[in-house]
């Protein structure tokens, strides 16, 4: 017949499972401090490895700041926190040039964004002008001020938090800007066991201060590169396409997933697979990260479903067969 | 399958609604009004659902509605099978199916229902507009069906694809139309086009009954002459013969003998023609006087009128030969002649006296009496008009001596009455006279306003001789047409008028198209098929060998196409096929793989359910995951996976 065999006949080359003990150690360190939140923590690390930025929407006091802080510490990165307020100006984020009388010239004083890990707290309290200054910097990974372009440090990771949008005094981010965040997660209240442990345990701030870096920034950049190279087979890409096609066809969503959203889904799924020690993506990876990817991108027509991204993602997953 | 579960988009829903409406609207006349309204309401509901994006009605409500609809249809017809109840039921299903458009599967079912409804239309009417409309419906429906099974739902694109596919199907359609074995009469014998309801000549004739027909331009039949068109004055299309008279109304005999073949010797020149008869709801077949052969499946009454063995419900075409100079009934029995002499007792004293006077003058000489009668009629200066005055009880007397104005039935009745008074057997013959040639296709079209009544007199040694008393007073009726004969200003049906030429021209063309459709599409009967096949050099196969040949041909073509499609289809990953076998084995242990579940997640679940096989399950899932999702999968792994699964018996 001369039909091509489906698979090549050459002998099996079983790829070594990826051994990344340092990432396991990073996760272990964070989980030791933030209790009972394995999944959101893993997702935030995957987000960082995929070179994306993270949006956390939750109530104050559930550990958003601690998470950002801990991540920076164990990864050996600088950390800055920007508290967004309604009277904030772009210069408060990006930096400002000040005339130095001694040298008789303007000197640029870099803003808090020139840091490897930035915690942008309560981003939806600021005006759209300040918001977009941050979001543009996130996207371009550089800052242009007074005609000079200054690159941001590498790795560069923004964790933005926002209050639930129904709270007063908020400027909700438009959908196009939400799209700049790779993932949106919620931390939520800890379960009673974890909470008890937290209450009875040592002081968290001291624990954070005692943390040591598990990887160097250079190694982190290598890991980000490795995450990008995790294999996504044709069958898996078919699956991502099928998911997107379903959201575009089905009447339950106002608009389907964009190609950029599909890229995001694939990127996070790759990092997630790498955290699992695999060099290829499985549908399980896609399904695991799907809620975080679609939470801020897919708006259900149905108002009730809007606030539960897990349920929305589950419905989507169950509607699409694996190709 | 995933595709069948894909949701129906809004646009698709609109298109489905359009297709369903196109399929449903032509049927509104056939189904009961309550159903038309109910279905209309369901369509409106569907439109609202799509427009406002409301939730679909709950399943229990739909089930309830289906039951209610079926029961209502049953109550209406006392049956749910048969043509009209069946169509009504299909309408119910279609209307309700539109309310549960969830997935592509529902869209396909809706489209199939639309196809059935299109088919249903042809059970009621088979005219050109119906055919054109159903083409549009089929196009829309096919497009929606394509959209349901395709990833690109743009309607215009699908419409173009559907048009292309239908165009590709056209040669097959023509081939099947030409070659599919024809059975005598339509398979269902059902189409009842609306013209069955139009009035035609009836079994009785009283003053005014034929004049009424003169207002109708419905077509009675069309004729295609093989040779030259005979002169108008020869075109007497014989219909029912009416010998019985009760003083006002002439009627056909209640009991008739029938000859299975032509009982009289024919002589003289002949005229050959094909006649396409429109349905008339009677047994009557019209033929040019005097018929020299009988159409298939027919007989000749003892009054020499050809009749069909079945009521003429469908358009039929037959070939005829006429001998205009032949007279029948030379040897007619006394009994038949007695009936042609009977007069009701009393009435019309002046005509009776006139007849008696002729009898005294000429004795038994029928020819002489006939000549005298004709001369008398011409002397009376009778006027041919569509609006004769009302007549009292002695209508023959009043017409002949007082009002002197009448239509052909008055002339025929008076003439027969006078002859019978003189002892000459005579009777009224109803039928059509003349016709009009359509210059576009050369067919002679005979319409209801060509209805006419004339007489026959029996003369010893000659038999029945046709005498048309109308021709004596108004020869232009016979030689030209109705419009030429009636006084100016009288109401004529539109098509009988001789002015307004351009509209007539248009009508001629339309009529020629309709006639072509009737002759070649609807009239494609076993006879025509045999002729065509013989003309193609295929001999005259019987329907069995034709069916067999067609089945083999279709089978071969379908097999070829299937093989081609199978070769070119997207191949199923063999690893996936093996995985499905594996899943089926586990399903027998009540661990069911859901088609969206990742292999490792499923393996976890299965291993927990069947701990004894946990290792094997994980190994198989691992192999499968690597084959499908890892880089550089290879055939060895596939082989290993297959072996593992073959040896796996949970």
Which helix (H) or strand (E) is B326 found in, with range? none
Which helix (H) or strand (E) is A99 found in, with range? strand A95-100
Per-residue pLDDT at A178 exceeds 90? no
Beta carbons of B2 and A242 less than 8 Å apart: yes
For residue B533, being part of any structural domain is answered with no
pLDDT of amino acid A12: 45
**Residue B189: pLDDT band with limits 50, 70, 90:** very low
Q: Tell me, yes or no, if A281 comes closer than 8 A to chain B by beta carbon.
A: yes
pLDDT of amino acid B166: 92
| Least confident span in A5-14, B540-549, B622-631 | A5-14
Instruction: Report the distance separating Cα B381 and Cα B5, nearest Å.
Output: 85
The pTM score is 0.51
- Residue that wins the pLDDT comparison between B181 and A280: A280
Contact of B321 with B271, CB cutoff 8 Å: yes
- Residue that wins the pLDDT comparison between A58 and A280: A280
Whole domain around residue B590: which residue ranges? 546-646
Instruction: Give the chain A residue whose CA is nearest to the CA of B573.
Output: A6
B157 and B216 share one domain: no
Per-residue pLDDT at A198 exceeds 80? yes
CA B374 → CA B460, B467, B472, distances in Å?
Answer: 18, 9, 7
Which of B179, B194, B218 terminates a domain? The answer is B179
B153 and B259 share one domain: no
Strands A117-121 and A79-83: parallel
And the tokens for B466? 């046709």
**Residue B196: pLDDT band with limits 50, 70, 90:** very low
Q: What is the mean pLDDT of residues B277-282?
A: 84
Instruction: Report the distance separating Cα B159 and Cα B429, nearest Å.
Output: 58
B186 burial type by CB count under 10 A (0-12 exposed, 13-18 middle, 19+ buried): middle
Beta carbons of B634 and A12 less than 8 Å apart: yes
The DSSP symbol for B398 reads I
Q: What is the mean pLDDT of residues B63-84?
A: 87
B470 and B588 share one domain: no
Q: What is the mean pLDDT of residues A156-184?
A: 81
Closest CA to B528 of B124, B180, B240: B180
What distance lies between CA B286 and its chain's CA centroid? 20
Ramachandran sector of residue A179 (left: φ over 0; alpha: ψ -120 to 50; beta: rest)? alpha
Contact of A312 with A291, CB cutoff 8 Å: yes
Question: Which of A1, A12, A273 to probe by mutation at the B interface, max B CB count within 10 Å?
Answer: A12
Of B601, B628, B631, which is closest to A284 when you measure between CB atoms?
B601
Beta carbons of A317 and B596 less than 8 Å apart: yes
Of B10, B596, B629, which is closest to A233 when you measure between CB atoms?
B629
Of B6, B575, B630, which is closest to A249 when you measure between CB atoms?
B6
Domains, chain A, ordered by start: 21-319 (3.40.50.300)
pLDDT of amino acid A243: 92
pLDDT of amino acid A1: 37
Q: How many structural domains comprise chain B?
A: 3
**Residue B3: pLDDT band with limits 50, 70, 90:** low
B167 and B222 share one domain: no
At B42-73, the pLDDT tens digits run 999 999 988 888 888 888 999 999 999 999 98
For residue B342, being part of any structural domain is answered with yes
* Phi and psi torsions of B327, nearest 5°: -115, 140
- Residue that wins the pLDDT comparison between A14 and B471: B471
Question: Which of A240, A284, A318 to probe by mutation at the B interface, max B CB count within 10 Å?
Answer: A284
B365 and B476 share one domain: yes
B326 and B262 share one domain: yes
Q: What is the mean pLDDT of residues A191-216?
A: 85
pLDDT of amino acid B416: 92
**Residue A11: pLDDT band with limits 50, 70, 90:** very low
Classified as helix, coil or strand, B372 is: helix
pLDDT of amino acid B67: 93
Q: Considering only CB atoms, which chain B residues are within 8 Å of A10?
A: 634
Per-residue pLDDT at A241 exceeds 90? yes
Instruction: Report the distance separating Cα A113 and Cα A141, nearest Å.
Output: 10
B36 and B157 share one domain: yes
And the tokens for B509? 């063309």
At B549-605, the pLDDT tens digits run 888 888 898 899 888 888 776 667 888 888 988 988 888 888 888 888 899 999 999
The distance in angstroms from the start CA to the end CA of chain A is: 27
Percent of chain B with pLDDT over 90: 16
Instruction: Report the distance separating Cα B142 and Cα B329, nearest Å.
Output: 63
Residues of B known to be catalytic: 408, 452, 468
What distance lies between CA B471 and its chain's CA centroid? 37
And the tokens for B617? 């399950």
Q: Tell me, yes or no, if B200 comes closer than 8 A to chain A by beta carbon.
A: no
Q: Considering only CB atoms, which chain B residues are within 8 Å of A236?
A: 628-629
**Residue A306: pLDDT band with limits 50, 70, 90:** low
Q: Considering only CB atoms, which chain B residues are within 8 Å of A245?
A: 6, 151
At B281-303, the pLDDT tens digits run 888 889 998 888 888 888 888 88
| Least confident span in A36-40, A100-104, A283-287, B199-203 | B199-203
The DSSP symbol for B540 reads -
* Complex ipTM value: 0.85
Per-residue pLDDT at B538 exceeds 80? no
Q: Considering only CB atoms, which chain B residues are within 8 Å of A301?
A: 53
For residue B148, being part of any structural domain is answered with yes
For residue B517, being part of any structural domain is answered with no
Which of B144, B179, B214 terminates a domain? The answer is B179
Alpha-carbon distance A51 to nearest alpha carbon in chain B (angstroms): 23
pLDDT of amino acid A4: 54
> Mean pLDDT for chain B?
84
Contact of B472 with B379, CB cutoff 8 Å: no
The DSSP symbol for B28 reads T
pLDDT of amino acid B188: 45
Q: Tell me, yes or no, if A251 comes closer than 8 A to chain B by beta carbon.
A: yes
B214 and B328 share one domain: yes
For residue B29, being part of any structural domain is answered with yes
B317 and B246 share one domain: yes
pLDDT of amino acid A2: 40
For residue B508, being part of any structural domain is answered with no
The full DSSP string for B617-629 is HHHHHHHHHHHHH
Instruction: Give the chain B residue whose CA is nearest to the CA of A236.
Output: B629
Strands B306-308 and B298-301: antiparallel
Instruction: Report the distance separating Cα A124 and Cα A104, nearest Å.
Output: 39
Beta carbons of A317 and B5 less than 8 Å apart: no
B386 and B274 share one domain: yes
Classified as helix, coil or strand, B464 is: strand
Of B7, B574, B594, which is closest to A251 when you measure between CB atoms?
B7
**Residue B163: pLDDT band with limits 50, 70, 90:** very high
Beta carbons of B634 and A242 less than 8 Å apart: no
Per-residue pLDDT at B184 exceeds 70? no
Alpha-carbon distance B24 to nearest alpha carbon in chain A (angstroms): 27
Which of B467, B501, B535 terminates a domain? The answer is B501
pLDDT of amino acid B495: 64
Q: What is the mean pLDDT of residues A89-107?
A: 85
B622 burial type by CB count under 10 A (0-12 exposed, 13-18 middle, 19+ buried): middle
Instruction: Give the chain A residue whose CA is nearest to the CA of B629.
Output: A233
Alpha-carbon distance B275 to nearest alpha carbon in chain A (angstroms): 58
For residue B530, being part of any structural domain is answered with no
B210 and B148 share one domain: no
Sorted by sequence, the CB contacts under 8 Å of residue B540 that are 6+ apart come out as: B530, B533, B534
Instruction: Report the distance separating Cα A38 and Cα A59, nearest Å.
Output: 19
For residue B191, being part of any structural domain is answered with no
B272 and B322 share one domain: yes
């Amino acid at each position: 017949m001369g039909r091509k065999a489906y698979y090549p006949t050459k002998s099996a080359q079983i790829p070594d499972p990826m051994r990344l003990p340092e990432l396991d150690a990073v996760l272990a360190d964070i989980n030791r401090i933030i209790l009972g939140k394995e999944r959101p923590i893993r997702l935030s690390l995957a987000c960082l490895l995929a070179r994306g930025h993270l949006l956390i929407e939750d109530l104050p006091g559930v550990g958003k700041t601690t998470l950002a802080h801990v991540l920076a510490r164990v990864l050996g990165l600088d950390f800055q926190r920007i508290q967004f307020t309604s009277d904030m100006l772009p210069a408060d984020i990006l930096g400002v040039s000040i005339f130095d009388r001694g040298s008789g010239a303007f000197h640029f004083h870099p803003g808090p964004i020139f840091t490897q890990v930035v915690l942008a707290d309560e981003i939806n309290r600021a005006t759209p002008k300040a918001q977009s200054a941050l979001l543009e910097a996130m996207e371009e990974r550089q800052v242009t001020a007074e005609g000079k372009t200054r690159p941001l440090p590498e790795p560069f990771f923004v964790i933005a938090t926002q209050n639930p949008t129904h709270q007063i005094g908020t400027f909700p981010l438009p959908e196009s800007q939400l799209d700049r965040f790779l993932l949106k997660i919620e931390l939520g209240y800890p379960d009673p066991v974890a909470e008890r442990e937290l209450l009875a345990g040592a002081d968290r701030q001291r624990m954070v201060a005692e943390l040591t870096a598990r990887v160097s920034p250079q190694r982190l950049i290598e890991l980000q590169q490795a995450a990008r190279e995790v294999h996504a087979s044709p069958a898996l890409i078919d699956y991502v396409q099928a998911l997107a096609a379903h959201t575009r066809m089905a009447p339950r969503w106002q608009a389907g997933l964009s190609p950029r959203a599909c890229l995001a889904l694939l990127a996070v799924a790759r990092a997630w697979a790498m955290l699992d020690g695999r060099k290829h993506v499985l549908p399980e990876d896609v399904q695991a990260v799907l809620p975080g990817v679609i939470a801020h991108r897919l708006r259900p027509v149905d108002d009730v479903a809007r606030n539960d991204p897990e349920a929305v993602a589950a419905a989507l997953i169950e509607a699409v067969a694996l190709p | 399958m995933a595709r069948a579960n894909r949701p129906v988009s809004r646009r698709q829903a609109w298109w489905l609604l359009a297709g369903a409406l196109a399929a449903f609207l032509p049927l509104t006349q056939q189904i009961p009004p309550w159903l038309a309204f109910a279905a209309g309401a369901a369509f409106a509901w569907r439109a609202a659902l799509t427009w406002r994006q409301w939730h679909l009605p709950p399943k229990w409500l739909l089930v309830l509605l289906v039951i209610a609809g079926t029961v209502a249809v049953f109550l209406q017809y006392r049956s749910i099978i048969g043509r009209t109840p069946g169509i009504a039921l299909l309408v119910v299903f279609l209307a309700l199916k539109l309310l549960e458009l969830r997935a592509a599967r529902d869209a396909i079912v809706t489209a199939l229902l639309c196809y059935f409804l299109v088919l249903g239309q042809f059970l009621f009417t088979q005219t050109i507009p119906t055919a054109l409309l159903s083409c549009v419906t089929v196009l829309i429906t096919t497009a929606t069906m394509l959209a349901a099974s395709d990833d690109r739902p743009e309607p215009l694109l699908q419409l173009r694809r559907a048009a292309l596919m239908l165009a590709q199907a056209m040669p097959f359609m023509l081939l099947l139309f030409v070659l599919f074995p024809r059975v005598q009469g339509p398979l269902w014998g059902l189409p009842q086009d609306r013209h069955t309801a139009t009035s035609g000549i009836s079994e009785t004739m009283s003053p005014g009954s034929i004049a009424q027909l003169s207002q109708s331009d419905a077509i009675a039949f069309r004729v295609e002459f093989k040779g030259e068109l005979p002169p108008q004055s020869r075109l007497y299309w014989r219909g029912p013969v009416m010998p019985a008279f009760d003083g006002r109304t002439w009627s056909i005999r209640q009991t008739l003998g029938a000859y299975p073949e032509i009982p009289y010797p024919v002589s003289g020149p002949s005229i050959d023609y094909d006649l396409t008869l429109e349905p008339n709801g009677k047994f009557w077949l019209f033929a040019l006087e005097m018929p020299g052969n009988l159409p298939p499946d027919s007989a000749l009454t003892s009054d020499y009128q050809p009749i069909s063995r079945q009521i003429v419900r469908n358009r039929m075409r037959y070939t005829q030969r006429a001998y205009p100079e032949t007279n029948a009934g030379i040897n007619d029995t006394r009994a038949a002649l007695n009936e042609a002499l009977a007069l009701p007792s009393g009435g019309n004293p002046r005509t009776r006296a006139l007849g008696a006077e002729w009898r005294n003058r000429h004795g038994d000489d029928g020819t002489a009496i006939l000549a005298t009668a004709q001369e008398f009629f011409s002397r009376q200066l009778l006027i041919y008009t569509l609006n004769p005055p009302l007549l009292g009880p002695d209508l023959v007397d009043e017409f002949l001596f007082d009002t002197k104005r009448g239509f052909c039935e008055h002339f025929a009745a008076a003439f027969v009455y006078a002859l019978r008074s003189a002892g000459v057997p005579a009777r009224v013959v109803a039928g059509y006279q003349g016709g009009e040639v359509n210059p576009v296709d050369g067919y002679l079209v005979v319409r209801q306003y060509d209805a006419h009544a004339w007489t026959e007199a029996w003369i010893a040694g000659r038999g029945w001789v046709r005498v048309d008393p109308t021709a004596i007073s108004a020869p232009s009726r016979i030689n030209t047409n109705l419009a030429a004969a009636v006084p100016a200003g009288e109401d004529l049906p539109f098509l009988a008028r001789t002015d307004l030429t351009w509209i007539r021209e248009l009508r001629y063309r339309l009529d020629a198209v309709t006639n072509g459709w009737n002759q070649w599409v609807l009239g494609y009967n076993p006879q025509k098929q045999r002729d065509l096949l013989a003309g193609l050099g295929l001999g005259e196969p019987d329907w069995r060998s034709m069916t067999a040949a067609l089945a083999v041909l279709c089978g071969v073509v379908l097999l070829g196409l299937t093989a081609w499609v199978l070769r070119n289809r997207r191949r199923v990953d063999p690893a996936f096929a093996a995985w499905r076998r594996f899943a089926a084995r586990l399903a027998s242990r009540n661990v069911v793989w859901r088609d969206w579940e990742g292999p490792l997640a499923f393996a976890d679940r299965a291993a927990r359910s069947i701990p004894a096989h946990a290792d094997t399950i994980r190994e198989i899932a691992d192999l499968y995951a690597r084959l499908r999702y890892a880089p550089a999968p290879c055939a060895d792994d596939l082989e290993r996976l297959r072996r593992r699964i073959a040896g796996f018996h949970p």
